[in-house]
Structure 1
């Protein structure tokens, strides 16, 4: 009976959140539907606890649950919404040997979160010139939660950042809880550092850390192409973002497992603010330097805020970062 009570309580809570995040209409209407959903769940729990009630209430709740799951499975991701400007377009790629042709690379100029110049570009990159990759963590909600980005560097000094993000509709904001309940679609953004990193440090006031990844040339290529592969999959078939299983950190872990299939699962994959610690413990960051030093030297926030519009942003934020060569900063 105890197990049945726990199952009813858990399903009742899950269903209430699912209805809140997915039902259309005003808040009062959603509240009324949630109350109607919770009533048979509470009555069932009361009956199981011996507090009276009708013996058939669990059957009524089971019927309500079946109807809820039937409705839940009709919710499908889509590309057809009125998207926010910064996620309005999807990355498209063509790979011909070492040559990569990209459409819809984002290169916005941000003055604030709401004041910006929108610019999408076509780019050409040579995989033979791929020389580095950096892990970036942008903190916006305390030390345990961060957004994870990977920036690839080329021999000619250009850099390209990949980021798996929620595809927000216009006027919509992120909710970690909503991410468990099919509230958002997924998009993979490719952008300039002066766009996707600068907006976090300068426009949003986030705290950003940069770490040089320890990858060989063939591994760099494999991870870069892995991002393009995932972007193509999302482009072909829309997918939901999930706070736990499909987010900005899990994609990095998935691609890293292609290089090292024995990488273990870890709580730091969920608490993404500690993901750099995980990468360090498994040999993914610069070796020979303790993690505390890497973290201290990798905090780029103040350098980013001090960088003028005419300075080379990528070079300025990497000054003093272990693993970054002097040639990169010239």
Structure 2
């Protein structure tokens, strides 16, 4: 009886500690921040503020509430006896003071009104890249980078926000120190910064060429002050793949004729692809073994004399 009462008291105290917390999230000037995030630290419990900056969340005494908003410094507040917790978030000076290149000049994030994304240059230093454009893959929102060839150093296909063509293509304008260029043969260690201009405001500077967006690449240059010399050596090697296994003449003829037979059965047409069996094709029976370069034959004692035909017109494939 005493044990039951003691357990009920413990559960009662536990549920009594959980309560509803209300409050308002605003910036340093007192303006409400709609859509600000409120999260109970160490849990998946969270909510967002409404249009007026108000929020409501259920938490226990002693929990830590984390308030965050894009462009502002996060703030942590411990839940005590109060049921109303107001949070004031300060602007993140590091983000607002970041200098980005916009066309023919530079601006800070605080005064920027267009959509510009800047690549973190640490990504270029993270690994060896045969082409600097691969660093944009998965790092810039709205940018699709696709490798279309296996050639080492080849520039991948870059499409910004789905492109402007009907088939979803359209490469952005690439400017290297203000000059139209390409990422091909551009050393990653020579890049100071990469900015991507996304919206239509870029057309006011570059015109119709920037309809698919603009990628601005700024290379490193000398700076006043102490001289510095950096040396970095990277070595990579590509080997030619030479493990191809070619099919023999007998299997080539056999598999091609089998595929035609199965195709005829599938479409219920016994005469389909007849020219590939009876015509002058590599697996057909009507090929000219003397002058046709597309004829494949099995070497037997009956046709071995063809190897001595003048002109060497018979392919050396048997």
Superposition TM-score tier, normalisation by shorter sequence = under 0.3
TM-score (norm: length of structure 2): 0.19
TM-score (norm: length of structure 1): 0.18
Bigger Cα Rg? 2
Point out which structure has higher relative CO (alpha carbons under 8 A, 6+ apart): 1
Q: Which has the higher helix share?
A: 1
